[in-house]
Amino acid sequence: MSEIQTSGTELTSQYIAQITGDLERNTKEQERIGADVEALQEQLRTLQHDHTMLVNMQQALGSASPAAEVDTKAAVSVSRQAAAESKRSKPKKTAAADAGKAAPKKPSTEASSAKAAGKPSLVDLIRNHLKQQNEPRSAAEISSALTQAHPDRTIKTTVVRTTVEGLVAKSHAHRTKQGSSVFYTAATAPQPTETEPQPKAAAN
């Protein structure tokens, strides 16, 4: 009996020692993996922060439009942007076909003739939209409204901003600034107040 008890005690001691060693190794491994996970999470947070900053910078640079340059070159910019917008709204060839051939400069005249055939220009669309509004509208709001009203046309915010700045330069629209945002309203045409001179009675 004493021999059986002794062997059983030794076996139990071996199991306890092995389990204790396994627990220590398990605990150390958990600590190591936990430290790795923490470091990776910190790297992930840093990358997410950098990604947010880069996206904001990209959007800010993409929507930037110096007002001074637009004011000085408004007429030229409006005509070029309107022609480019008309060409984008009427895709005729695939990109592969365009890459194989040098596109002639005749599509601009074709776009102008198509526009003259009944398709309103972007300038007309913006002017009419502003006349229908009771409150000032930003370039982004104008672009969104025109895109919903004309889904067949590609209307970008940068093109709308350039076009409406051209209207401001021609006194066809007004520009107001609220903080860092710019809003536009239609210019109210003055009512004609000229009166025709009364014809003088012929002297008898």
Q: Considering all CA atoms of the chain, what is the largest pairwise distance in Å, rounded to the nearest integer?
A: 161
pTM above 0.95, yes or no: no
Mean pLDDT across 25-46: 91
Please name which of 182, 146, 184 lies closest in space to residue 164, comparing C-alpha atoms. Answer: 184
pLDDT score for 97: 46
**Per-residue 3-state assignment (H helix, E strand, C coil) for 95-109:** HHHHHHCCCCCCHHH
Sorted by sequence, the CB contacts under 8 Å of residue 85 that are 6+ apart come out as 122, 153, 154, 155, 156, 159
Confidence class for position 122, pLDDT limits 50, 70, 90: confident
Q: Model confidence over 152-199: pLDDT tens digits? A: 888 888 998 899 899 899 888 888 888 888 899 988 755 444 444 555
Confidence class for position 68, pLDDT limits 50, 70, 90: very low
Token pair listed for 190:
């003055």
pLDDT score for 191: 45
**Average pLDDT of the chain?**
74
